[in-house]
Structure 1
Amino acid sequence: MASILITGGAGFIGTNFVRHWRRAHPNDEILVLDALTYAGNAANLDGLDQVRLVVGDIGDTELVRQILRNHDISTVVHFAAESHVDRSISGPAAFIETNVVGTHSLLMAAKAEWLDRGSGRPHRFHHVSTDEVYGSLGPDDPAFSETTTYSPNSPYSASKAGSDHLVRAYHHTYGLDTTISNCSNNYGPYQYPEKLIPLFLLNCLRGIALPIYGDGMNVRDWLHVDDHCQGIEKVIANGRSGEVYNIGGGQELTNIAVIDAICTALDRAFVDTPSLAQRFPAAPAANGQPSASLKSYVTDRQGHDRRYAINASKISNELGYAPRRDFAAGFAETLAWYLENGDWWSALLDKAQR
């Protein structure tokens, strides 16, 4: 039996990774370190065996050292981060504190326990990052590769770039066994309803306007969170120490195409399942109107990157990674999950409104 520490494991991607790891490694001890800020939800881990939640801050270096030592941790998977770009524009300080200072705190703890104490034990510190560190692409530019120059354009992406550089430095300077993955836009179960897909999906169900930035033609590569998790597992198991791996879904879509897919799928769901109209009476689809009637164009986000795209050939060629879902299949699963788990997201919305 091995022991693994997952930071931010009560958040969106972290929760899905905890569940993925439990399925794939049923005998491992899993420790989750999460500060349970607004996007962290202890209920996300309900029903999981041998998963221990430690409520705490990644910036507490001594706490992390104690966890690594007392539980004989050999692998750290670092998800904990402030991640919403809009929030980083209005309040960048929290992003520097968590994403840069917090990551450095984890690295100091890992170095102290795995290297300085002379255990010599095999270890792996995996850092989960984003394609946003690479900046913005033009319509005909090649997709981001692991050698693309960093060019972050928001406080969020700048803070993630800084954390990436620290992880790299701890490998090259001290010999810490690290890997980094940079992923494209994730979607799927347990995503906090501030990101595009859950926000617009729940707005449609509640009859609230769908605020589309600019012309809606910004392009993102969409990656189902379960596919992301299996990619991370491959990097942890067989990725080369000190290396970076880009994980993408291979599904470039404009924001407006994603929004239209949400509206179309919801309208169809209300036709196929008439009882939805009773559950969500404020939805346009409950009243014979198209969900697209809620679309509203708003002033574009400051510094809004135009296009992201991931070249995942490195992880594919070296580690055999390939996404298992296209966007149509992944979104159908996601829609079904949100329709079936109204209690989960209703509780989050109620808490946010208090």
Structure 2
Amino acid sequence: MNDEKRTLLVTGGCGFIGCNFVRLVNRELPHWRLINLDKLTYAGNLQSLAGVEENERYRFVCGDIGDAELVERLFGEEQIDTVVHFAAESHVDRSIVGPGEFIRTNIVGTFTLLEAARRHWPGQNGGEARRFLHISTDEVYGSLGATGLFSETTPYDPRSPYSASKASSDHLVSAYFHTYGLPAVITNCSNNYGPYQFPEKLIPLVCNNALQGLTLPVYGDGKNIRDWLHVEDHCRALVAVLQRGRPGHHYNVGGNSEMANIDVVRMICDLLDQRVGLLPDGRQHRELITFVRDRLGHDRRYAIDASKIKAEIGWQPAIRFADGLAATIDWYLEHRAWLEAVLDGSYQDYYRTMYGHAEGAADLG
């Protein structure tokens, strides 16, 4: 793939992984232009990209990936040659309570993007100049037993409305490659962690609750196992896939860091004991741990075989989990204002402050 110039439509670029990807590209790939399309739902935070908007190679557009007219217009205006599709409803608990939005965003929204790419990339869909990179999850594979790994050939077996909607979108993307020759690539990643993660996910939730002296809820017996991947490692993998990945292929992206949830929670508690001291009553943060009723359909174990991306593309994770977790906790301690703004909802005022009176700076779709 020619890296001299790219024009990327990044969907969900104000979310956790998306904002880290935008920051990485903005910092290290000056020949790539970024168009960030984000609906700014509860998990989309413009403050996570503070400073990036100053770059002339970056444009933010507030809008829905399901808005076909808006997506069509962006493809035409910006001559998009690369799509990096992060935008998704992603919280399993929310999908159990209200699955409808997951169907609309994860399936219908993906379809809208695929249709726009198909119409705007005629005749050269299989060429080197274009890519449609669809970011998915290891949850589409279902649950593992005590042994084994998810590979790119593992049959899909989703267990929640969230993972079912992502599996459906994966199949759509794959179908557009096989039917229309759309130069699509799919990545399936393990659990991400790192800066700017919305505090409904395990690591920032535990960190925040512990700092406030609140209980630390752990599902079931806490022995559900996840493979943890630092978000910067993930974003570097995505850049590598854009540069060297083969259209029509899946690439699993894992951190080689399997941990039981309870062990992650205990590590966070110990880090906080070291960094901020014991609780006001002299207890260790571990004493806040409370086991709660298990989640419906809770997968027992996920683990990724990332040998294909290593062999074909040369990528492997560089950040050890212990180091990455410590750096992540330090980041949250140093950015308490960011965390507090998310928790009290005031982060949503940032859009109005930054763009509400700036003619043409943003596009409300």
- What TM bracket, shorter-length normalisation? over 0.9
Q: Which moved more, 1:124-133 or 1:40-49?
A: 40-49
Find 1:163's aligned residue among 169, 178, 186.
169
Q: Within 5 A, what are the aligned runs for 1:237-252?
A: 237-252=243-258
Count how many residue pairs are aligned between Structure 1 and Structure 2: 341
Conserved in 2, the CA contact under 8 Å of 1:252 and 1:309? yes
TM-align CA RMSD: 1.8
CA deviation profile, 1:86-136 (whole Å, cap 9, x unmatched): 000000111011000110010011101112799978210000000000000
Residues 1:74 and 2:81 aligned together: yes
- Which amino acid counterpart does residue 173 of structure 1 have in structure 2? T
Conserved in 2, the CA contact under 8 Å of 1:266 and 1:285? no
CA deviation profile, 1:43-78 (whole Å, cap 9, x unmatched): 111101232110000001221121112111111000
- Cα displacement (A) at 1:288: 2.5
- Which amino acid counterpart does residue 102 of structure 1 have in structure 2? G
Unaligned runs of 5+ in 2: 349-365
Distance across 2 between alignment mates of 1:337 and 1:316: 29
CA deviation profile, 1:11-54 (whole Å, cap 9, x unmatched): 00000000111122123221100000000011111101232110
CA deviation profile, 1:198-223 (whole Å, cap 9, x unmatched): 00000000111111100000000000
Q: Percent identity?
A: 56
Q: Within 5 A, what are the aligned runs for 1:5-154?
A: 5-48=9-52, 49=55, 50-115=57-122, 122-140=129-147, 142-154=148-160
TM-score (norm 2): 0.91
Distance across 1 between alignment mates of 2:45 and 2:240: 26
* Aligned residue number for residue 339 of structure 1: 333
Conserved in 2, the CA contact under 8 Å of 1:114 and 1:121? no
Find 1:304's aligned residue among 295, 298, 302.
298
Distance across 2 between alignment mates of 1:87 and 1:317: 37
Residues 1:262 and 2:268 aligned together: yes
* Aligned residue number for residue 276 of structure 1: none
CA deviation profile, 1:151-196 (whole Å, cap 9, x unmatched): 0000000000000000000000000000000000000000000000
Q: Which moved more, 1:335-344 or 1:284-293?
A: 284-293
Distance across 1 between alignment mates of 2:118 and 2:128: 12
Distance across 1 between alignment mates of 2:172 and 2:70: 20
* Aligned residue number for residue 355 of structure 2: none
* Aligned residue number for residue 181 of structure 1: 187
Q: Within 5 A, what are the aligned runs for 1:175-214?
A: 175-214=181-220
Distance across 2 between alignment mates of 1:324 and 1:88: 32
Indicate the SS of the match to 1:22: helix
Shift of the 104–118 alpha-carbon distance from structure 1 to 2, 3 Å rule, reads closer
Distance across 1 between alignment mates of 2:292 and 2:285: 18
Distance across 2 between alignment mates of 1:215 and 1:120: 50
Distance across 1 between alignment mates of 2:126 and 2:202: 45
TM-score (norm 1): 0.93
Distance across 1 between alignment mates of 2:6 and 2:331: 31
Large movers: runs of 4+ above 4 Å: 116-121
- Cα displacement (A) at 1:285: 2.7
Distance across 2 between alignment mates of 1:118 and 1:143: 33
Distance across 2 between alignment mates of 1:300 and 1:119: 45
